[in-house]
Amino acid sequence: MRGIAHFTSAMILPKATRLTLEQLTEVTGIVTEFGCKIQQIVGAVRTIYAIVGDEREELMINRLEGLDYVDRIDRIQSPFKLMDKRSDLASHRITIGGVTLGEELFVIAGACTIDPKNPNYFYETAAAVKESGANALRGGVWKPRTNPYSFQGDVKSLDILMEASRRTGLPVDTEVMEEAHITLALDAGVHTLQIGARNALNYSLLRAVGKAIAERDTVVLLKRSIHMGPLSEFISAAEYIAAFGNPNVILCPRGTTPTLDGYRNHPDESITPLLKEKTWAPVVVDPSHSVGKATYVQAAALAAVAYGADGLCIEAHVEPTKGIGDDPKQALTPEVLRKTIAQARQLWEIRRK
Ligand code: PEP
Ligand code: MN
């Protein structure tokens, strides 16, 4: 029953962890009479059923509330009903490579851009990332570049990414910019799809990702667009994805439009506690794009943890000066990465107490 969730309205919360097929058929029959559809959202604890359409029909709600296997109908007044902290999904946990976000500081690290001509840099970087204690490996295959003549990425790098994943045993994250990338990445075994800052407001791409991952345990790392203002705009972008049935969306502040000279973007890790007041979604901060220079990344990473981030996404390279994309300016060396992760984990533990 998964389909296009143009407008998610009320949620049906069953008494059991999920409806039986018979119950689902009955519920579907009722909402169909009122021109609505049912969209299943599979949470870690229980499945909830969104009524997609116009939920203002009191008679429909009354009939659903009258069913003995329905616990209640949740009508949260929020533009992001699934991602809202008050949603039944607030107990949902996201797990990547056996590690559940929220249980330890979750660190994604690796190159901005994989160099398809020099795969060994990425293999060595991946080994260093593993050795640094990171939980997942990042590597850009397709790159959104401001300059149309800059290197735009290469599909060959997808093989390099997956080979590095096999060698290290680390799950991988890579950015997708169009539907063809989504299919290629999922078919190759990429576990975390990154939506970049430039595409975080590309609603057709968000819908395409939501649809593609609906039946999988794939996770999406959603960067914050520099054009996003209100926090609800960021969380609603996550809702676009979750509305198709898989709520595994992580929010990633990565700096916003710079208001002063010096940093590439204006560091926005301080929005972490504000996000956490509104949504249950884990927050993984990207300090690398935020400050845009390796020298400042460690401070930005620690600041993010101090603000309550659940994780970090850091660019690193065995030899930054030999890297491509952002790596020459932003990537941490293995030594600094190791130190940054160790300190960030210590701070995370202090914060937890
Ligand atoms: C990246 O992660 O390399 C990247 C391009 O990030 P952003 O979309 O945040 O600019
Ligand atoms: Mn980058």
Which residue's CA is the nearest one to ligand 1's atom 8? 196
- What is the pLDDT at residue 38? 95
Q: What separation in Å is there between the alpha carbon of 170 and the centre of ligand 2?
A: 19
- What is the pLDDT at residue 7? 45
Ligand nearest to the CA of 175: 1
Return the ligand 1 atom nearest residue 198 CA.
8
Ligand nearest to the CA of 139: 1
Gap between the terminal Cα atoms of the chain? 43
Is the pLDDT reported for residue 353 higher than 80?
Answer: yes
Confidence of residue 78 (pLDDT cuts 50, 70, 90): confident
- Tokens read off for 112: 């901005």
Per residue in 200-241, pLDDT tens? 999 999 999 999 999 999 999 999 999 998 999 999 999 999
Bridging pattern class, strands 99-100 and 106-111: unpaired
- Tokens read off for 225: 């667009």
Q: Are 304 and 269 in contact (CB under 8 A)?
A: yes
Region 5-27: mean pLDDT is 86
Q: What separation in Å is there between the alpha carbon of 151 and the centre of ligand 2?
A: 12
CB atoms closer than 10 angstroms to residue 168: 20
Q: Between these two residues, 190 and 52, which has the higher pLDDT value?
A: 190
Of 105, 101, 103, 109, give the one whose Cα is nearest residue 336.
109
Which residue's CA is the nearest one to ligand 1's atom 1? 112
Per residue in 3-13, pLDDT tens? 444 444 689 99
Ligand 1 in reach of 112 Cβ (< 6 A) = yes
Which residue's CA is the nearest one to ligand 1's atom 4? 196
Region 84-102: mean pLDDT is 95
What separation in angstroms does the CA of 68 have from each of 25, 26, 74, 180? 15, 12, 16, 45
Q: What separation in Å is there between the alpha carbon of 262 and the centre of ligand 2?
A: 17
Per residue in 118-144, pLDDT tens? 999 999 999 999 999 999 999 999 999
Bridging pattern class, strands 106-111 and 311-315: parallel
Average pLDDT, the chain: 94
Region 262-277: mean pLDDT is 96
- What is the pLDDT at residue 19? 97
Which of 108, 112, 222 best tests ligand 1's pocket when mutated (most atoms within 8 Å of CB)? 112
Ligand 1 in reach of 144 Cβ (< 6 A) = yes
Return the ligand 1 atom nearest residue 140 CA.
3
Percentage of the chain beyond pLDDT 90 is 89
